[in-house]
Structure 1
């Protein structure tokens, strides 16, 4: 039987937050990462690998935001991408990830403690910046999704400005989320950014979004042909963050015996 996307069900239930606001507390993440070996938000690599391979070349320099205990960087490395830098705000996550990649012999993967709202990198130094579920945390106290709180917008824009700055010309920002286009587009399409925006959907039943923002080619491409968009309920973000039972059910349903 295949392993579920986390380390085990009982452990994942133990580390679940009492409220979605816990996701904004660094102490929650330190405690969680100290007890949880591995967990994947928004499906594992196999579900969107074909999209990664279309956009990330083996010689790409890649920055992953909010790596946590995800195996995304290791998956990229195993697919031939070896210039990878991972950051996370949690010192516990960083220490454990450093030990994990060293144990596997993936010496080229750099893991640093850093804040995605204040990226400690020079201008135009990465070909690809990728985040999976990290930006969603900024929205847990956003209020009305159609008119998010100014403080939320300010944080998201600060993140996007940093991403835009560190991307090389023609660099790509990949955002994997279940934030629907009608909520993400006003942020992604801010006049200060010089990137095109397109998206794909992936997943069975419940669809997630794979956004590709290419610097230096400003346009709104939209969803690529061939994808059937199944927009989830507007409350799904808060439901999934309030209770990770949705992910647990998904994992159980997908396990092959």
Structure 2
């Protein structure tokens, strides 16, 4: 996992409570000083999975780009039609400058809310998020029965994603959230996508969800390594960094 490069403001990066992640001012302060941080492992850890679902000709929307290098890594893999959004104007401005400085002139970055996406219907082949949806579960209460406010926000996000995906588009969600918690939301009756998942990571697994619009069926494929109960087994290396702070307050 990449270390945080944030200079003299290290106290801004890792809050004592995950509730700070709900505060837009926290993110603005953090992005003001932090140059780069990767949630849920670097691209190389799940590159083999994402390459199975994105073609070089696809139009891709990344939700909650922050200061991640995901869009740059996708571009290196030949995917050039990329739009990144983030709720933080600070993150957007810094990302725009960083990408232009590195010559990525064709990657679009804009300020937008994933709960109210400013795009027309059926305009992206792929929508991807890495840890962004997990923020919505901070302070969600019982993971088996999350608070109505949490469910409403998650459903608003998913409805927007489903709307902007092309008829055969794919939603990729990279998450700490385990399948038994995510399934009721992903498989809500208003969605037509299938539900599949894989795992990556050492010791503790991160979850790589793929939801293919228009492919839903009663016998949708399920992975052979399905978990039937929550896992809290973590190796020491997984306790390093901010992901663990995030994990302890979600699911």
TM-score by length of 1: 0.86
> In the alignment, does 2:207 pair up with 1:222?
no
**Could you tell me which residue of structure 2 aligns to residue 148 of structure 1?**
146
1:165 to 163, 172, 177: 163
User: Hey, what's the Cα distance between the residues in 1 that align with 2:243 and 2:171?
Assistant: 29
Q: Alignment RMSD, CA only?
A: 2.4
User: Hey, what's the Cα distance between the residues in 2 that align with 1:84 and 1:120?
Assistant: 15
Relative distance call for 1:148 and 1:49 in structure 2 (3 A) is same
**Could you tell me which residue of structure 2 aligns to residue 123 of structure 1?**
121
User: Hey, what's the Cα distance between the residues in 2 that align with 1:33 and 1:93?
Assistant: 6
* Alpha-carbon offset, residue 14 of structure 1: 4.4
* Alpha-carbon offset, residue 109 of structure 1: 0.3
**Could you tell me which residue of structure 2 aligns to residue 27 of structure 1?**
25
* Alpha-carbon offset, residue 222 of structure 1: 1.8
* Alpha-carbon offset, residue 5 of structure 1: 4.5
User: Hey, what's the Cα distance between the residues in 2 that align with 1:152 and 1:31?
Assistant: 24
User: Hey, what's the Cα distance between the residues in 2 that align with 1:184 and 1:228?
Assistant: 13
* Alpha-carbon offset, residue 17 of structure 1: 1.5
User: Hey, what's the Cα distance between the residues in 2 that align with 1:16 and 1:204?
Assistant: 22
Which segments of structure 1 move beyond 4 Å, counting only runs of 4 or more?
Answer: 8-14, 227-231
Gaps of 5+ in 1: 248-257
User: Hey, what's the Cα distance between the residues in 1 that align with 2:243 and 2:162?
Assistant: 34
User: Hey, what's the Cα distance between the residues in 1 that align with 2:208 and 2:82?
Assistant: 20
- Give the total of aligned pairs: 238
**Could you tell me which residue of structure 2 aligns to residue 233 of structure 1?**
232
Q: Could you tell me whether the CA contact under 8 Å between 2:203 and 2:233 is conserved in 1?
A: no
User: Hey, what's the Cα distance between the residues in 2 that align with 1:115 and 1:12?
Assistant: 27
User: Hey, what's the Cα distance between the residues in 2 that align with 1:89 and 1:156?
Assistant: 16
Query: What secondary structure does 2:195 align onto?
Result: strand
Which protein is richer in helix relative to its size?
Answer: 1
**Could you tell me which residue of structure 2 aligns to residue 254 of structure 1?**
none
User: Hey, what's the Cα distance between the residues in 2 that align with 1:198 and 1:86?
Assistant: 24
2:57 to 37, 56, 59: 59
User: Hey, what's the Cα distance between the residues in 1 that align with 2:33 and 2:7?
Assistant: 13
Query: 1:98-154 CA distances to partner (integer Å, 9 max, x unpaired)?
Result: 001000110110000000000000000000000000000000010000000000000
Q: After superposition, where does 1:1-257 map in structure 2 within 5 Å?
A: 4-7=2-5, 14-219=12-217, 220-223=220-223, 225=224, 232-233=231-232, 244=242, 246=244
* Alpha-carbon offset, residue 69 of structure 1: 0.3
Query: 1:36-84 CA distances to partner (integer Å, 9 max, x unpaired)?
Result: 0000000010000001111000111000000000000000001100000
Q: Could you tell me whether the CA contact under 8 Å between 2:127 and 2:171 is conserved in 1?
A: yes
TM-score by length of 2: 0.88
User: Hey, what's the Cα distance between the residues in 1 that align with 2:3 and 2:78?
Assistant: 22
User: Hey, what's the Cα distance between the residues in 1 that align with 2:146 and 2:105?
Assistant: 41
User: Hey, what's the Cα distance between the residues in 2 that align with 1:246 and 1:190?
Assistant: 29
Comparing 6-15 and 126-135, the one that deviates more = 6-15
* Alpha-carbon offset, residue 234 of structure 1: 9.8
User: Hey, what's the Cα distance between the residues in 2 that align with 1:158 and 1:165?
Assistant: 11
User: Hey, what's the Cα distance between the residues in 1 that align with 2:133 and 2:94?
Assistant: 22
* Alpha-carbon offset, residue 6 of structure 1: 3.2
